[in-house]
A and B are shown apart, each in its own frame.
Chain A
């Protein structure tokens, strides 16, 4: 409903990345002076929608109305001029500058001749912080502040620009309960001063403390927008789950065998250690909402020190852990960051594919066998390319992932650690990758997977370990034995049904 108190109205926003439709004619609006919670599973499209709103991305279709005016937001500056400000999870502050410098950066006050009007800026910031009821030393260097204080600086920076719409992405992630409460008070105060706030969060329980209205996003659409008084946690969870299944998950032919991998991980800040095992042919998932620690656990296997974890492969203890040693022991790791860690992008496909084999199975000379191996992998995984001498950067995302995964096949690994195996990949390739993983599992390979895609997790895993706040809080055994709703609830830390 559009009336004079509607601040923002996004109509039929559409956005695709390559062949992936991420935003499917999204309609999203909020009123003046409202605190809106925006929730949804990973991949639902929240970040993309917000990036379009603040001008970091351009939509393929749709219109945006701000204060009843049709606007075009083509750059971050456009958004800023309208009064839309976003505070990211990493705050985007300058650690080596002072608080007042950070708040004024880009809009410094000058005296005649271009000299900075330092005392004016200091006063301005002091005023602002007082209004926010926040005590911070304005002369302090940002790197010396704790995260909660840094967040305050980030908020002050947004407010200086007369923000009418403040967007916050996972604001309570770095905060303690007390600090979170303080933040909520500030937000409520802002509301009273006419600022609208959009809060993106995974901590569903918190939205009941601060939000007026909640919008649930799923599969690139806003499925429901309701006043907080009309919902409870369970309802929200149900609305978030229930995605359409677009990929078929392969049937498994054999059941898991004996234990081949066991890991015990301890993070000093977390009470209990994380312990789990993987059996021959078993696919285990570490599932959790963003930032719950599952990724950290996975990576620590491949690149940790014996201080934080104990690893046993076939009952043999692995003392030092670095990629070389782990690969020798039959464990391989496929990162979620294809560009940064998975592949060497400007090298030809051939070089990428043969690298593990050359590194670990060949002597000094690269023999003809390498080319044979490369062709085998290309054939087995059906990698679509013009020539193996093409650079990897020329391939589509799905084929790139096939290279990132396929290169390890030549080493016949016993355990595969997968971080987001099908991130940013089209449906068809996803299916092919699922088939590959199932085939390898049937041959006895153990898989440890971290995926933010709940459907993928349920469809592929023999066992799901739910990670919440760095600990394993629940275990679901048996393929397809848990519903999305149940899994999501467990991941949100909701213990009762």
Chain B
């Protein structure tokens, strides 16, 4: 007998156990904590600056979300981003007029990488771990070959503008991230492709028997991931303005952390971009919090790792709960 009260309580329970709710709750908590521990740090300007720093990782994480949703993983994201980051300034020689050509070159390369990753996984049945690791080495090699070991060039003015300036009060890079995130949230929720992605990640055999083009879907997500890395690379060079190889290529692990933290299941089939957004922000705010307390970089790594284990524990605990 379902009374109104029982229904309401049930809905509350489902909400509390909902991963997206948990992760946004954690984010809110973190924000609150930051505000309490360091009053005055939560003003609009600070927040926007903080988020702007996170935009490249955030965009990469969106691509990673798609790949992980299909049950795969993309370890080439760092090198894809690095490739664009290095090639754009080098090919444009810092001038706007050469942007189209430079863009085309990067686009062509990254499309090829996406295709190789996708075809390797979908058609040759190779492990995504292996394929993307392989392409990442290749891409890095090609980059170093071209720039001959030393990063050179600076960002053309237009790109620098995108990376640093505001539009209607918000940094353009954040607006770009927002648009991309919105597009992919909509794709995953409301389009055929979105349903296919979830389906393939959840059960490739059943998908195949329903007529879903499994191989094509897998190839597409790796291509999207590569393209998103390109966008992220462009945003990054716009932000840093100078090409440098001194940036640590941690985008791979960070993107995976953001995706998993955001509630997307590592084996695929469940989760989404909405969660990843929260995941990215949590990592960013956490790292910022640790900086405030003057914790070293290594300390930050440890803290990040602990958080990931904690959240993973919470999620699997929930799974045990559900099966009882």
**A and B: bona fide binding partners:** yes
Bound: A388/B199 CA distance, A: 16
Task: Please judge, given known A-B contacts A323-B211, A327-B211, A344-B207, whether A359 and B202 are in contact too, CB under 8 Å.
Answer: no
Contact B195 A366 (CB under 8 A): yes
Contact A346 B270 (CB under 8 A): yes
Contact B192 A359 (CB under 8 A): yes
Residues 372-386 of A, flagged 1 when their CB comes within 8 A of B and 0 if not, give: 000000000000001
Is A340 an interface position by the 8 A CB rule?
yes
In the complex, which residues of chain B have a beta carbon less than 8 angstroms from the beta carbon of A347? Answer: 198-199, 202, 269-270
In the complex, which residues of chain B have a beta carbon less than 8 angstroms from the beta carbon of A327? Answer: 210-211
In the complex, which residues of chain A have a beta carbon less than 8 angstroms from the beta carbon of B211? Answer: 323-324, 327-328, 356, 359-360
Chain B 196-248 interface residues, beta-carbon cutoff 8 Å to A: 196, 198-199, 202-203, 205-213
Residues 84-108 of B, flagged 1 when their CB comes within 8 A of A and 0 if not, give: 0000000000000000000000000
Is A363 an interface position by the 8 A CB rule?
yes
From residue A354, how far is it (CB to closest CB) to chain B in Å? 8
In the complex, which residues of chain B have a beta carbon less than 8 angstroms from the beta carbon of A365? Answer: 190-192
Chain A 386-418 interface residues, beta-carbon cutoff 8 Å to B: 386, 407
Is B193 an interface position by the 8 A CB rule?
yes
Bound: A323/B205 CA distance, A: 11
Is A277 an interface position by the 8 A CB rule?
no
Q: Which residue of A lies closest to B207 (CB)?
A: A344
From residue B4, how far is it (CB to closest CB) to chain A in Å? 15
Is A201 an interface position by the 8 A CB rule?
no
In the complex, which residues of chain B have a beta carbon less than 8 angstroms from the beta carbon of A407? Answer: 210
The number of inter-chain residue pairs (CB within 8 angstroms) is 76
Given A302, A343, A359, which contacts B203 in the complex, CB threshold below 8 Å? A343
In the complex, which residues of chain B have a beta carbon less than 8 angstroms from the beta carbon of A351? Answer: 195, 198-199
Contact A364 B193 (CB under 8 A): yes
Bound: A356/B270 CA distance, A: 19
Task: Please judge, given known A-B contacts A324-B211, A324-B213, A351-B199, whether A343 and B206 are in contact too, CB under 8 Å.
Answer: yes
From residue B240, how far is it (CB to closest CB) to chain A in Å? 37
Bound: A336/B213 CA distance, A: 22
Contact A340 B190 (CB under 8 A): no
Task: Please judge, given known A-B contacts A323-B210, A351-B199, A359-B211, whether A366 and B191 are in contact too, CB under 8 Å.
Answer: yes
Contact B192 A366 (CB under 8 A): yes
Contact A341 B205 (CB under 8 A): yes
Contact B195 A355 (CB under 8 A): yes
Is A358 an interface position by the 8 A CB rule?
yes
In the complex, which residues of chain B have a beta carbon less than 8 angstroms from the beta carbon of A362? Answer: 192
Contact A342 B206 (CB under 8 A): yes
Bound: A358/B197 CA distance, A: 13
In the complex, which residues of chain B have a beta carbon less than 8 angstroms from the beta carbon of A323? Answer: 208-211
From residue B71, how far is it (CB to closest CB) to chain A in Å? 12
From residue A301, how far is it (CB to closest CB) to chain B in Å? 13
Contact B269 A344 (CB under 8 A): yes
Contact A346 B269 (CB under 8 A): yes
In the complex, which residues of chain A have a beta carbon less than 8 angstroms from the beta carbon of B192? Answer: 358-359, 362-366
In the complex, which residues of chain A have a beta carbon less than 8 angstroms from the beta carbon of B212? Answer: 355, 359
Bound: A221/B319 CA distance, A: 38
Known: A324-B211, A328-B211. 17 other contacts (CB 8 A): A302-B209, A323-B208, A323-B209, A323-B211, A327-B210, A333-B209, A340-B203, A341-B205, A344-B199, A344-B202, A345-B203, A347-B270, A351-B198, A355-B207, A366-B192, A366-B194, A386-B10
Interface residue ranges, B against A (CB under 8 Å) = 10, 190-196, 198-199, 202-203, 205-213, 265, 269-270
A-B contact pairs, 15 of them (CB 8 A): A323-B208, A342-B206, A342-B209, A343-B203, A343-B206, A346-B202, A347-B202, A351-B198, A355-B210, A358-B195, A359-B210, A363-B192, A365-B191, A366-B190, A366-B195
